[in-house]
Amino acid sequence: MKTKAKKRNDNKLAAVLLFPSIFLVLLLVAYPMVSNFQISFFEQSINPNLDPTFIGFQNYTDILTDVEFLKSLGITFLYTFLTVVGSTVVGLAVAIFFNRPFMFRKLSRALIIASYVAPTISLVFAWKYMFNNSYGVINYLTVDVLGLFDQAPLWFDRPSSSFVLVVLFAIWRYFPYAFISFLAILQTIDNTLYEAAEIDGASAWQKFKVVTLPAIMPVLIIVATLRAIWQFYTFEDVFLLTNQVNTLGIYLYQTAFAFNDLGKAASISVILFLILFAVILLTRKRVNANGNG
């Protein structure tokens, strides 16, 4: 009886302690999600004085048949793929290079993560300054010093060059996240495994394939998944850098605030949620298949 009474008291205490967190999750996550799903079935303006009109699945039909949405979806998939692969590969390469003793290692690590912790606005304007067609250092080097161009290119005014630059910016800014994650797991690998592989005559690539890759695979999957989710929703980086790359974040913003259509914008966010939910399920199955779920 005493054990049961103590268990009931522990459950009550746990419920009391968890209630603030559960309440905040319901208020800040669950309620906005349900409200957004509800709005997606209405034609609704951002003007609160205009009454919404129920139109059923019309917003979803319009979005899925909109050529601009499909273009934005393709651009976003390509942007996400390139940035995730690029930042992951660069982060892993730098982590492998830093996984050894050398002078000023701590200072070097601190400098590496500077781009990840610095404010977005400062990084964006630094890049725009570097690529400015009048006084940017990039145009000075490519035009005046190396003579690669006859005149300074308008980097952020053309869709192709703008897309390349926003991808490079994302890789440069976010590879420190992969770097930190991979460096932590690399430091847990027993050096005797590398020594045994070296005795067997394994090359650097074979040691990476047989020893390093299996050890970092769980972290690799998690890093790639989280980075893909974050990049798929990216907005401020692209929005501040250029108006020539129409990712889904930009398309969603324009639909809601430029075209004054909250209902259609809500339906876009629901579609994005379903896409990412499917990606998470597939990734979870992959992690479970590797025995880490």
Residue ranges of domains in the chain: 62-289
Question: What is the residue whose two structure tokens read 């409200």?
Answer: 35
pLDDT of residue 290: 55
Sequence-distant (6+) residues with CB within 8 A of 72 are: 246, 247, 248, 250, 251
For the cut 80, the answer to whether the pLDDT of residue 101 exceeds it is no
- Say how far apart CA 220 and CA 181 lie, in whole Å: 9
User: How large a percentage of the chain has pLDDT more than 90?
Assistant: 17
pLDDT digits (tens, 9 = 90+) for 194-253: 878 888 787 888 888 888 888 888 888 888 888 888 888 888 889 999 888 889 889 988
136 token code pair: 């940017």
Q: What pLDDT, on a 0 to 100 scale, did the predictor assign at position 206?
A: 84
Give SS3 for 32.
helix
pLDDT, residue 132, reads 82
At 287, is the pLDDT very low, low, confident or very high (cuts 50, 70, 90)?
low
Determine the Cα–Cα distance for residues 112 and 105; give it in Å rounded to an integer. 11
Coil, helix or strand for 54? strand
Average pLDDT, the chain: 84
Average pLDDT over residues 89-104: 86
Q: Is 21 helix (H, G, I), strand (E, B) or coil?
A: helix
Return the pLDDT at 293. Answer: 44
Largest alpha-carbon pair distance within the chain?
Answer: 89
CATH fit for domain 62-289, picks 3.40.50.720, 3.30.565.10, 3.40.50.20, 1.10.3720.10: 1.10.3720.10
Going by pLDDT thresholds of 50, 70 and 90, the confidence category of residue 42 is confident
> Each residue of 179-210: b (16+ CB within 10 Å) or e?
bbbbbebbeeeeeeebeebeeeebeeeebbee
Task: Report d(CA 266, CA 41) in Å as an integer.
Answer: 9
The CA distance from 112 to 120, in Å, is 16
Q: What is the mean pLDDT of the segment spanning 85-102?
A: 89
**What span, in angstroms and rounded, lies between the C-alpha atoms of 95 and 180?**
7
| Residue length of the chain | 293
CB 254 within 8 A of CB 208: no
